[in-house]
Amino acid sequence: MTLPGGACDCCDVCGRPFTAPYQVLTDGRRICYRCHETAVYDQAQAQLIYQQVGAILQQTMHLVLNIPTALILVGRDQLADVLRQMGRSAAQVTQTLGVYARHGRKRAIYAQSGLPRLLLLQVVAHEWGHAWQMENAPLLREPLLQEGFAEWIAYQVLLALGMETAAARMAARDDVYGRGLRHVLLLQQHVGQDGVLAWCRYAR
């Protein structure tokens, strides 16, 4: 998952210009104190979020990952290495906050450390959606549909937690994530939640 970015004297997480002293992380990222207040740096805390996402999706949508998939909290440089190994572009390496990756038989979700809890929750849920895709819809190749479905999974998790405002912000984005999410939400209006899952399984 990525966020829009640009060159400025801004927080590396939220993009707001610095108006007060900021936190410098070990990998060189600079984050404002507003983001730092809820940032997750600990693997154990991140694991709890991952478990929460999985529990919500199992309870509300009866979705599970059948192939063991680890969550690994990494710095920006480590995430960049993973992305380069996957053949991602330089722009993707710079802007990506998390990614689902396969290494042989191993599956893992890599997420940046130091993300505010809400954003980490969203990133983890989005990449969980990609993990489910790869198990159940490996022929789904269109980026708009891939990212739209993964965003839809994250959107459902936020709604289940009562975070309607954050979910609305996701749907308002004017990039592949926002456009893809709106596409899937429109489909949901016509075929329902189960219909979306069936569509994903058979989409090409």
* Distance (Å) of CA 119 to CA 39, 42, 65, 167: 9, 15, 22, 11
- Chain mean position to CA 70: 14
Q: Is 109 within the bounds of a domain? A: yes
CA dist 143 and 202 (Å) reads: 16
Q: Is the pTM of this model over 0.85?
A: yes
Q: Position of tokens 């599970």? A: 64
Q: Is 6 within the bounds of a domain? A: no
CA dist 147 and 195 (Å) reads: 18
Report whether pLDDT(4) > 60. no
Query: In a 10 Å sphere around its CB, with 0-12 CB exposed, 13-18 middle and 19+ buried, how is residue 9 labelled?
Result: exposed
Q: Is 115 within the bounds of a domain? A: yes
* pLDDT per residue as tens digits for the range 124-135: 999 999 999 999
* pLDDT per residue as tens digits for the range 161-175: 999 999 999 999 999
Neighbours of 130 (CB within 10 A): 20
Q: Is 7 within the bounds of a domain? A: no
Q: Is 74 within the bounds of a domain? A: yes
- Percent of the chain whose predicted confidence (pLDDT) is above 90: 71
Q: What is the number of structural domains in the chain?
A: 1
* Distance (Å) of CA 84 to CA 27, 111, 124, 136, 187: 17, 15, 20, 26, 34
Q: Is 28 within the bounds of a domain? A: yes
Structural domain harbouring 165: 23-202
pLDDT of residue 103: 82
pLDDT of residue 1: 60
Q: Is 4 within the bounds of a domain? A: no
